[in-house]
Structure 1
Amino acid sequence: MKLRKLIGSLIIVALLALGSYWYEENGQIPPSSPSDSEIVQLVFPSDRYPETAKHIQDAIANGESAICTIDREQAENNRRLSLKGVPTKKGYDRDEWPMAMCKEGGEGADIEYISPSDNRGAGSWVGNQLEGYADGVRVEFLFQ
């Protein structure tokens, strides 16, 4: 019976190690529950989403936070507040930094007109990277 438990434990450890390796090799952050003081670092693929990367970097250079505290429940309200008074423009999306899903987002966010494919691709990429993290997790955006 002890041998069976030992083998089971070894299999679990191997699967966890394999999962972490897979995430790192595929440019993803392994889901976890960092402490309140810990900041998860997310390397944004500037080559894949250059307009969004430039907008975020410009916004940070102009004083916006590089840290996003995940707050999905407020995303809709933050988006409404950040885009209030910013007219739509045919052929463009209104990109916001900090993002609507960030506690730091909302009124006063930096808005830039960018191509829909870049904006939506970047949003999807970020959402996929952060889906395993709970609200309250702080994420620092870094760039390649």
Structure 2
Amino acid sequence: MKRLKGFITSFLVVATLFTGFGGQSAFTTETATAFSYDEVLYFPTDRYPETADHVSDAIAAGHSSVCTIDRDGADQRREESLEGIPTKPGYDRDEWPMAMCEEGGAGASVRYVTPSDNRGAGAWVGNQVEDYPDGTRVLFIVE
């Protein structure tokens, strides 16, 4: 049922882009890129609510919902995204897009979240994408 719901939502978004609003097409090269992906990952809000809220808010603010996996550049992007954002006792700094994503790094959204939520979410995502090779474009849908 979740996959059907996701398919219907994706279909409606794409159909709206093609048909446009008020007779004008809203489909652009930028939106075509946003909908170009290889895999879909449904992120579980009920398991990791703080991280899910952050991802949702970051995407709504214009950050990419697609993560192009690039593990080798993760350390550099993490340094870039966290630069100037101090640690805070009792919290982790959650990044979106994640450091393992080509889209991450400087300009990423960073939010303080509890360690259990952040680390659980990171482990969950890591397990989901462990078999995907670098270069795989993963669309994140927060449920």
Q: Deviations over 1:48-76 (max 9, x none)?
A: 00000000000000000000000000000
Matches within 5 A, 1:70-109: 70-109=69-108
Displacement after TM superposition at 1:143 (Å): 1.9
**Corresponding residue of 1:17:** none
TM-score calculated relative to the size of structure 1 = 0.74
37-46 or 112-121, which deviates more: 37-46
User: In the aligned structure 1, how far is the partner of 2:37 from the partner of 2:107?
Assistant: 26
TM-score (norm 2): 0.74
The list of structure 1 runs, each at least 4 consecutive aligned residues, that deviate by more than 6 angstroms after superposition, is none
Gaps of 5+ in 2: 4-35
Which structure's CA Rg is the greater one?
A: 1
Counterpart amino acid of residue 127 in structure 2: N
Aligned to 2:142: 143
How many residue pairs end up in the alignment?
109
Query: How far, CA to CA, are the matches of 1:101 and 1:113 in structure 2?
Result: 19
RMSD: 1.2
- Aligned amino acid, residue 97 of structure 1: W
Alignment check: 8 A CA contact 2:67 2:103 kept: yes
Say if 1:38 and 1:111 are closer, same or farther in 2 by CA, change over 3 A: closer
1:111 aligns with 2:106: no
Residue 53 of structure 2 corresponds to 54
Shift in Å, 1:89: 0.4
Distance in 1, Cα, partners of 2:48 & 2:59: 17
State the one-letter code of the partner of 1:138: R
Q: Percent identity?
A: 63
Q: Aligned partners of 2:77 and 2:55: how far apart in 1? A: 17
Structure 1 unpaired stretches of 5+: 1-23, 25-36
Where 1:142 maps in the other structure, the secondary structure is strand
1:57-112 alpha-carbon deviations (Å, 9 max, x no partner) = 00000000000000000000000000000000000000000000000000000000
Amino acid corresponding to residue 80 of structure 1 in structure 2: E
* Residues 38 and 56 of structure 1: CA distance in aligned 2, closer, same or farther (over 3 Å): closer
Instruction: Answer yes or no: is the 8 Å Cα contact 2:55–2:142 preserved in 1.
Output: no
| Correspondence for 2:23 | none
